[in-house]
Amino acid sequence: MTMKPSVLVARAVFPEVLDKLAQHFEVTSNQTDVFWTQEVLIQQLQGHQGALTTGSVRIDAVVLAACPDLKICANMAVGYNNFDVDAMTQAGVLATNTPDVLTETTADFGFALLLATARRMAEAEHFLRSGRWDRWRYDMFAGCEVHGSTLGILGMGRIGQGIARRAAHGFGMKVIYHNRSRLDAATEAACGAVWVDQSELLRTCDHLMLVLPYSAATHHVIGANELAQMKPTATLINIARGGIVDEVALAAALRQGTIAAAGLDVFEGEPKVHPDLLALRNVVLTPHIASATIRTRLAMAHLAADNLIGYLVDGKPVTPINPQVLAT
Ligand code: DGY
């Protein structure tokens, strides 16, 4: 009888996905979802060929050197800044992620966060719940217009395009974007979006949406200089990764009225949130939930599992990030 390959599920996941994995693998899982240091992660990974990870599980050269049996890490996320992909490729370890299945759900949330931020929904709700509402007032929680305003999108991949479609076709917004590579004319037309340089994007948008991948090149791409170029009435929405924004500079800009408000679903030190942000009323804060609907999270978990099965059982992963590994 041939031995089943063995996989580690490094964070809690839907039980039905564990059942699916168990049909193909010896499965060890962290279903109690305890926090693992790098040392514990290395201990847990010993002898496993595959790992199902989430964005909080860092796979780097140290982990790879200590886990020579590892062949694949399947991230249950589209973003993969928790992977050192070069080190993985060098070690012959395949990396996979979960694109497409979360695009529309994440775009919905980006738009929800934009609306909540511009229309001051969190602040207004806290006010009501605190029992301070005693009358209607002409200027109570008056916010910024969304429909008909200009949305600037920084990073224009699948999720950025989904947000652009909602903005242009649903809310009659003018959509401008900046991306290293410009979309082709047909895709721009379908999104109702126009490419501009970064400085024009910052200067002219009423709402700035960050949807670019995080890497050393995009670390603190939005800092004091960039915020200073924005309109004082503008809002900033981040559903990408916290490290894209210099949070201290953002908190100062929100305090000083350099921009009007921010909506943040991601944080540089998450799950810790910078105390300067927690102290502000003009920021809507959510705990990294942009892709969080049951259907989408299930689809992400299944796709991660299918990548493990596809590679370790059939040699054909579904969504590889470093397909060079397949050729070796
Ligand atoms: C993603 O898919 O990258 C989300 O941020 C969840 O981690």
pLDDT score of 175: 98
179, 156 in Cβ contact below 8 A?
yes
Options 119, 207, 241, 297, the catalytic residue: 241
Q: Which residue in the block uniquely carries the two structure tokens 């989904």?
A: 162
Interatomic CA distance for residues 157 and 210, integer angstroms: 11
Same structural domain, 120 and 189: yes
Q: Which residues touch 13 (CB under 8 Å, ≥6 apart)?
A: 29, 31, 52, 76, 301
**123 is written with which tokens?**
């602040």
Q: Which domain holds residue 205?
A: 103-285
Ligand 1 centroid, distance to 274 Cα (angstroms): 20
Classify residue 108: in a domain, yes or no.
yes
| Structure confidence by residue, pLDDT tens digits, 126-140 | 999 999 999 999 999
User: Is residue 111 domain-resident?
Assistant: yes
Q: Is 166 a catalytic site residue?
A: no
Q: Is 182 a catalytic residue?
A: no
Ligand 1 center to residue 77 CA distance, Å? Answer: 4
Query: Which pLDDT score is estimated for 222?
Result: 98
- Rounded distance between C-alpha atoms, residue 188 and residue 160, angstroms: 11
Q: By the 8 A CB rule, do 34 and 12 touch?
A: no
Ligand 1 atom nearest the C-alpha of 102 is: 2
- Is the separation of the CB atoms in 193 and 153 below 8 Å? yes
**48 with 170, same domain?**
no
DSSP output for 257-281 = TSSSEEEES--TTTTS--HHHHT-S
Is 249 domain-assigned? yes
Residues 137 and 164 in one domain: yes
Query: How many structural domains are present in the chain?
Result: 2
1 occurs within a structural domain: no
Q: For position 328, what pLDDT does the model report?
A: 73
Residue 240 within a domain: yes
- For the segment 268-295, what is each residue's pLDDT rounded down to a tens digit? 999 999 999 999 999 999 999 999 999 9
Q: Please write the tens of the pLDDT for every residue from 86-115.
A: 999 999 999 999 999 999 999 999 999 999
Ligand 1 mean position, distance from CA 299 (Å): 13
281 plus 301 within the same structural domain: no
188 is catalytic: no
Degrees to nearest 5, angle at CA 155 with 151 and 156: 80
In a domain, 139, yes or no: yes
Asked if residue 178 and residue 65 are part of one domain, the reply reads no
Same domain membership, residue 208 and residue 110: yes
State whether 118 and 256 are in the same domain: yes
Residue 248's pLDDT is what?
Answer: 98
Report the nearest-CA residue for atom 3 of ligand 1: 79
Give me the phi and psi of 116, to 5 degrees please.
-60, -40
Q: How many CA atoms lie within 13 A of 135 on its CB side?
A: 3
Whose Cα sits closest to atom 6 in ligand 1? 77
Q: Are 228 and 258 spatial neighbours (Cβ–Cβ below 8 Å)? A: yes
Q: What is the pLDDT along the chain (328 residues), one digit of tens a residue?
A: 678 999 999 999 999 999 999 999 999 999 999 999 999 999 999 999 999 999 999 999 999 999 999 999 999 999 999 999 999 999 999 999 999 999 999 999 999 999 999 999 999 999 999 999 999 999 999 999 999 999 999 999 999 999 999 999 999 999 999 999 999 999 999 999 999 999 999 999 999 999 999 999 999 999 999 999 999 999 999 999 999 999 999 999 999 999 999 999 999 999 999 999 999 999 999 999 999 999 999 999 999 999 999 999 999 999 999 999 998 7
Is 137 part of any domain? yes
Q: At what angle do helices 15-22 and 294-312 cross, to 10 degrees?
A: 10
According to DSSP, residue 217 is labeled: G
Atom of ligand 1 nearest to the CA of 241: 5
What confidence score (pLDDT) does residue 327 get? Answer: 87
213 C-alpha vs ligand 1 centroid, how far in Å? 10
Within 6 A (CB) of ligand 1 lie 55, 77-79, 102, 291
Test site for ligand 1: of 54, 97, 102, most ligand atoms within 8 A of the Cβ: 102
Which CATH number does the domain housing residue 277 bear?
A: 3.40.50.720
Q: Which atom of ligand 1 is nearest to the CA of 98?
A: 2
206 and 192 together in one domain = yes
Domain co-membership, 176 together with 257: yes
257 located within any domain: yes
164 and 248 both lie in a single domain:
yes
CA of 282 relative to ligand 1 center, distance in Å: 25
**Pairwise CA distance, residues 25 & 266, whole Å:** 33
| Active-site residue, from 219, 270, 274, 302 | 270
Q: Please, are residues 48 and 28 in contact by the beta-carbon 8 Å criterion?
A: yes
Check whether residue 72 and residue 152 sit in a common domain: no
Residues in the chain: 328
Are residues 35 and 46 located together in one domain of the fold?
Answer: yes
Q: Strands across the sheet with 72-75, in order?
A: 26-29, 6-9, 50-53, 72-75, 94-96
Nearest Cα to Cα of residue 55 among 243, 308, 205: 243
Q: Which of 105, 291, 298, 302 for mutating ligand 1's site (highest number of atoms within 8 Å of CB)?
A: 291
For residues 229 and 253, the answer to whether their CB atoms sit within 8 Å is no
